[in-house]
Amino acid sequence: MNMPARCPVIGPVAPSKARHTAAGSLSNADWWPDQLNLRILKAHAGAPPPIGHEFDYAEAFKSLDFQAMKTDLQAAMTTSQEWWPADYGHYGPLFIRMAWHSAGTYRTADGRGGAGAGTQRFAPLNSWPDNTNLDKARRLLWPIKQKYGRNISWADLMILAANVALESMGFSTFGFAGGREDAWEPPEDIYWGPESEWLGDNRYSGERQLENPLAAVQMGLIYVNPEG
């Protein structure tokens, strides 16, 4: 931690004699050492991604009955479930938090993250300490995803759910723009920085060259400050 780090995409921000590289930062496997390695399944994969190379999401999205889907979303967020009861009978705030935490991963340092690929479904984001219980929000959306299938991506559905939540509670939105295509596996080339513990809050003194902030101030925190 006493050495400045290096982003593998944009390179160093300030000169230094010693730097961490992408190879020196922790990978998804380091953060989740007990995860099942499924790479062997790719050995004989016919046509990755599973959805197929010929699939045109933009065209599929155009075929949606958009108003019907928004009606279904509003019904879902106002129907409390016994396995996770809604606060005051409305899941809207939970959906807004889900979308905020999806978009809030965007970082200006290298353009990674954000709501554009639905990566909140995958490790490590799906189990970040600050994303606690957002799996319930995605579970609430599962019947709608099943109904509309490939015509709505998870990435779009999570953001749309928040839009509908705002509208259902009296807020006027600017509308919705679809087109976010889902990632189908967690990216393995993300530079997470030199941290080695969740929500680490150690402070360091002394003068040294530092890189630009990656996003939040701690690994596993979603607050969009200073650069989310």
* Cis amide leading into 226 (omega within 30): yes
- Separation of alpha carbons 221 and 107, rounded Å: 13
Q: Could you tell me how many residues make up the chain?
A: 228
DSSP output for 98-120: HHHHHHTT--TTTS--SSSS-GG
CA triple 25-113-101, angle to 5 deg? 110
- Separation of alpha carbons 23 and 37, rounded Å: 19
101 in active site? yes
The catalytic residue positions are: 101
